[in-house]
Structure 1
Amino acid sequence: MLEFRTPGFNPYAVKYSPYYDSRIAVASAANYGIVGNGRLFCLGLGPQGIVVEKTFDTNDAQYDLAWSETNENQLLVACGDGSIKMYDVGVGSEFPVANFHEHKREAFSVAWSPVTKDTFASSSWDGTVKIWSPARKESLKTLPVGNCAYSTSYCPSNPHLISCVSTDSHLRVFDLRTPISAAYHLAVKIPVHHLPHPAPPLPPSQRPPQIQTPSPPPPTTTPAEVLTHDWNKYREPIIATGGVDRAIRTFDIRNPAGGPVALLLGHEYAVRRLAWSPHAADILVSASYDMTEQEGWESRSGRGCSWA
Structure 2
Amino acid sequence: MQAALPPPQLQVARTPSWAHYSIKPSPFFDHALAVASSANYGIIGNGRLHLLHTRPQLHVDKIFETQDGLYDVAWSELHEFQLASASGDGSVKLWDTNLKDLPIRAWHEHTRETMSLDWSNLEKDRFLSSSWDGSIRVWTPDRPHSLTALPAHAACVYQASWSPHTPALLASVSADGTLKLFDLRSPFSALPSTPAPPTPKNSASWAPPPVPLAPPTMSVVAHAGEVLTLDWNKYRPMVLATGGVDRAIKVWDARNMSRPAEEGAPLLGHEYAVRRVAWSPHRADLLASASYDMTARVWQTGPNGGVLRMIHDQHTEFVAGCAWSLFEEGVLATCAWDGRVHTFRV
Fold match by TM threshold 0.5 = yes
Partner of 1:109: 116
Match of residue 174 from structure 2: 166
1:258 Cα deviation from its structure 2 partner: 2.8
| Correspondence for 1:18 | 27
Instruction: Judge conservation of contact 1:192–1:260 (CA < 8 Å) in 2.
Output: no
| 1:171 CA drift (Å) | 0.3
The alpha-carbon deviation at position 180 of structure 1 amounts to 2.4
Matched, 1:89 2:92: no
The counterpart of 1:136, out of the listed 143, 156, 160, is 143
CA distance in 2, matches of 1:63, 1:176: 25
1:260 positional shift: 5.0
- In the other structure, the counterpart of 1:79 is 87
SS in 1 for 2:58: strand
Check if 1:176 corresponds to 2:190.
Answer: no
1:189 pairs with 2:189:
no
Structure 2 match to 1:62? 70
Distance 1:85 1:5 in 2: 25
Q: Is residue 293 of structure 2 the alignment partner of residue 290 of structure 1?
A: yes
- 1:119 pairs, out of 122, 126, 130, with 126
Q: CA–CA distance in 1 between the matches of 2:189 and 2:101? A: 42
Q: CA deviation digits over 1:191-236, x for unaligned, max 9?
A: 103xxxxxxxxxxxxxxxxxxxxxxxxxxxxx30000000000001
CA distance in 2, matches of 1:54, 1:252: 40
Q: Contact 1:143–1:185 (CA<8 Å) still a contact in 2?
A: no
Question: What is the distance in 1 between the residues matched to 2:86 and 2:128?
Answer: 10
Of 77, 97, 106, which residue of structure 2 is paired with 1:99?
Answer: 106
In the TM superposition, what is the alpha-carbon distance from 1:266 to its structure 2 partner?
0.6
Q: Which residue of 1 aligns with 2:254?
A: 253
2:50 alignment partner AA: F
Local SS of the residue matching 2:102: coil
5+ long unaligned stretches in structure 1? 194-222
AA in 2 matched with 1:173: L
Asked if 1:28 corresponds to 2:37, the answer is: yes
Give distance in 1, aligned partners of 2:87 and 2:305. Answer: 39
Asked whether the 8 Å contact 1:224–1:245 carries over to 2, the reply is yes
Runs of at least 4 residues of structure 1 off by over 6 A?
Answer: none
Which residue identity lines up with residue 44 of structure 2 in the other structure? V
- Distance (whole Å) between structure 2 residues aligned to residue 178 and residue 103 of structure 1: 23
**Distance (Å, rounded) in 1 between the aligned partners of 2:288 and 2:259:** 24
Q: Where do 1:211-230 residues align within 5 Å?
A: 223-230=224-231
In structure 2, stretches of 5+ residues that fail to align are: 1-9, 191-212, 310-346
Letter in 2 for 1:45: T
In structure 1, how many angstroms separate the alpha carbons of the residues matched to 2:178 and 2:95? Answer: 32
Provide the rounded CA distance (Å) in 2 between the counterparts of 1:46 and 1:73.
18
Measure, in 1, the Cα distance between the counterparts of 2:293 and 2:189. Answer: 43
- Counterpart contact for 2:150–2:189, Cα < 8 Å: no
CA contact (8 A) 2:267 2:306 kept: yes
1:38 and 1:167 map into 2 onto residues whose CA distance is 24
Tell me the TM-score normalised to structure 2 length.
Answer: 0.77
Identical-residue share of aligned pairs (%): 49
Residues 155 and 163 in structure 1, CA contact (< 8 A), matched pair in contact too: yes
Q: Number of matched residues?
A: 275
1:187: Cα distance to partner?
Answer: 0.3
**Change in CA separation of 1:65 and 1:286 when aligned onto 2, cut-off 3 Å:** same
Could you tell me the TM-score, scaled by structure 1's length?
0.86
